[in-house]
Amino acid sequence: MRRNLTFLILTVAVLAGLWLAMKPDTAPANNAEIVAQTQTVNFDIVSGSTPEPQIIRLKIGDTAQLNFVSDTDAAVHVHGVDMHIPLSAGIKEQREFVATQTGRFSLEVHDTEMQLGTIEVYPR
Ligand SMILES: [Cu+2]
C-alpha cells in the first residue's frame, strides 16, 4: 500500500516536471511583424550619383522617409509610382514613400541616369 502511494507521488512529480518542461511558450508572439515601420534613407548625391545603390526593403503599409541632398540641381524619379523630386543644389528635399503595392521601384537621377537604389515592397 505504502509502495503504491510512493509510486503515485513519483508519477505525479514526473508528470508535473514534464508538463513544466514541455508546456508551450505562452509569451505573446513578436508582433513587430504586423506593425508598420518607417525607415529613413539618406541620399547624398554628388555630381548626379551616389557611391552605391541602396536597397530599401518594405512591407505593405511601411513608409520610407527619403531624404535627398544634391550638390547640383537634379531631378530624381521613382519609377513605377508617379514621384518626381526636383532638387536644387544644396537644398534638402524630403519625400515619404508609403508602400501601398508590392513591387520593385527604382530611384534614378534623370539627367545622369544613375540608379540611386531600389525600393522593394513585399506582402506583409
Ligand atoms: Cu525615371
pLDDT (tens digit per residue) in 81-116 = 989 999 999 999 999 999 999 999 999 998 899 999
Residues 46-65: pLDDT tens digits?
A: 999 999 999 999 999 999 99
**DSSP code string of 62-84:** -EEEEEEEESS-EEEEETTTTEE
How many angstroms is it from 123 CA to the middle of ligand 1? 24
CA–CA separation, 109 and 88 (whole Å) = 13
How many angstroms is it from 9 CA to the middle of ligand 1? 76
Q: Which residues contact 44 (CB under 8 A, 6 or more apart)?
A: 50, 69
CA distances to 24, 36, 104, 120 from 107, rounded to whole Å, are: 46, 22, 10, 11
How many angstroms is it from 99 CA to the middle of ligand 1? 18
Q: Is the pTM of this model over 0.95?
A: no
pLDDT confidence of residue 115: 95
CA–CA separation, 35 and 12 (whole Å) = 43
Confidence tier at 1 by pLDDT (50, 70, 90): low
CB 44 within 8 A of CB 52: no
Q: Which domains does the chain have, with CATH numbers?
A: 36-122 (2.60.40.420)
CA–CA separation, 95 and 23 (whole Å) = 48
